[in-house]
Amino acid sequence: MIRCKIILLESFKNLNGALVLLKQKLKIGIVVGEVSGDTLGVKLMRSFREQGIDAEFEGIGGPQMIAEGFHSYYPMEILSVMGIVEVLKDLKKLFAVRDGLIERWAEHPVDIFVGIDAPDFNLRLSKTIKEKTLPIKTVQYVSPSVWAWRQGRVHGIKRSIDLVLCLFPFEKTFYENYQVPAAFVGHPLAKQLPLKNPIVDAKHQLGLSAHELHVALLPGSRKSEIDRLLPLLIGAAEILHKKYPELEFLIPAINDARKQQIEHGIQSLDATLKSKIYILENTDAESKIGRMVMNASDIVALASGTATLEAMLLHRPMVTFYKLHWLTYMIVKLLVKIPYYSLPNIIAGKKVIQELIQADATPQNLAIEIEKLMDNETAHIQMMQHLSMHKRLISGETEDPVTAILNCLKAN
């Protein structure tokens, strides 16, 4: 039951299809673990306010959410760890963060908790909320890839999550088969990004020459990812530079700490190559530097993850890669139920972009795949496939996330 401070009686008013609480301020807990979650989180906060809902937000947020008035009790980067073995190393710290949030919300409960992505942490947090019988509804915004691997997790989700907000239509269908409440809200970028993204304008915005060929190198936004994946990208750049000395390479840095980390990673390179590598640091509150770099690039090489969807929506030719700790990879390989790792390939149901995973992720292979995309015909075919998937993502019937959350809040 929801605490009695939430007065339903004549407190609900229909505004643009959303139920708006008029009498009492709504208290919403949110936890995000990376830049993409921070972007979704700030959009959700703004949506509540745009619909006239008096709400305050607390938990773990990123710089965009904090700038919007979010009360963050821990830095977002504390959750920026991926992989089974990698998480085990930080387990004590992650438990302490979880217990800290539970302790606070046991004393001062939020009305509803929205875990945005970061499923390994957020699903456990929601489970603990239920085990402690706290009067808090739980929502998972961005489904974990339960349809792809470790499908048995769906039973735990059913017990601990009151609503899953799905970015893709096939996810809602999956949950409905297990009687898990789910709403297809769509990916906000699919509607936000236009179908046409002129590359010349994007290059101009970053002060780049429209006449040069630019290759985006994206190792990820986490410190651990950059440590592990930047050498792969730099190795590919070295190979390509010898063959195409005019090529320019762009690397986005989400903040000054990541910029310094990248600069340290390229300091031993030949001076000529270093002069062709531009490290572009984020300068705005919305952390859009990765998107800006991809939009200004003729070819994108990036770590597999949410950014692959963004590159697809920008219609840029790309190759994706990833390397995990060897033990993590062996475990994942046994559990994965689908043939692809990247979102564009999963959405298409076929290989539309090249994936270089684990042993295949070498500088030589990455350089070969980037070189293939330098062929205009090959790049054009991939871009047309991206455009087709973009249209498919924005054509479906979606629900408003705020309405779905409020309906979950008032449900028994």
- Per-residue pLDDT band for 82 (boundaries 50, 70, 90) equals low
The pLDDT value recorded for residue 285 is 67
How large is the average pLDDT for residues 137-152?
Answer: 86
Query: Count of CB atoms within 10 A of residue 124's CB?
Result: 16
Question: What's the CATH number for 192-395?
Answer: 3.40.50.2000
Would the pLDDT of 146 be above 60?
Answer: yes
Helix, strand, or coil (residue 215): strand
The pLDDT value recorded for residue 56 is 97
Phi, psi values for residue 3, rounded to 5°: -55, 150
pLDDT per residue as tens digits for the range 41-77: 999 999 999 999 999 999 999 999 999 999 999 999 8
The pLDDT value recorded for residue 8 is 35
Would the pLDDT of 89 be above 80?
Answer: no
Domain residue extents for the chain: 9-187+397-410, 192-395
The pLDDT value recorded for residue 226 is 94
Please state, for a pLDDT cut of 90, what percent of the chain lies above it. Answer: 61
The pLDDT value recorded for residue 97 is 95
In order, the DSSP letters of 36-60 are: HHHHHHHHHHHHHHHTT--EEEEEE
Would the pLDDT of 2 be above 70?
Answer: no
Provide the CATH topology of domain 9-187+397-410.
Rossmann fold (3.40.50)
How large is the average pLDDT for residues 259-270?
Answer: 95
Would the pLDDT of 100 be above 90?
Answer: yes
The pLDDT value recorded for residue 286 is 67
The pLDDT value recorded for residue 10 is 34
- Per-residue pLDDT band for 276 (boundaries 50, 70, 90) equals very high
Would the pLDDT of 321 be above 60?
Answer: yes
The pLDDT value recorded for residue 81 is 61
Would the pLDDT of 256 be above 90?
Answer: yes
Q: What is the DSSP letter of 395?
A: H
What dihedral angle (degrees, nearest 10) is formed by the CA atoms of 354, 358, 363, 366? Answer: 0
Please state, for a pLDDT cut of 70, what percent of the chain lies above it. Answer: 89
How large is the average pLDDT for residues 114-143?
Answer: 95
Average pLDDT of the chain is: 87
Q: Considering Cα of 271, then 261, then 202, then 204, what sign does the dihedral take? A: negative
pLDDT per residue as tens digits for the range 365-390: 999 999 999 998 988 889 888 878 88
Tokens at residue 260, please? 């310094």
Q: Alpha-carbon distance 334 to 331, whole Å?
A: 5
The pLDDT value recorded for residue 190 is 79
Would the pLDDT of 331 be above 80?
Answer: no
Tokens at residue 130, please? 């239920």
The answer to whether residues 131 and 321 touch, using CB atoms and an 8 Å cutoff, is no
Asked if the domains at 9-187+397-410 and 192-395 fall in one CATH topology, the answer is yes
How large is the average pLDDT for residues 245-255?
Answer: 96
pLDDT per residue as tens digits for the range 14-44: 444 444 444 478 999 999 998 889 989 999 9
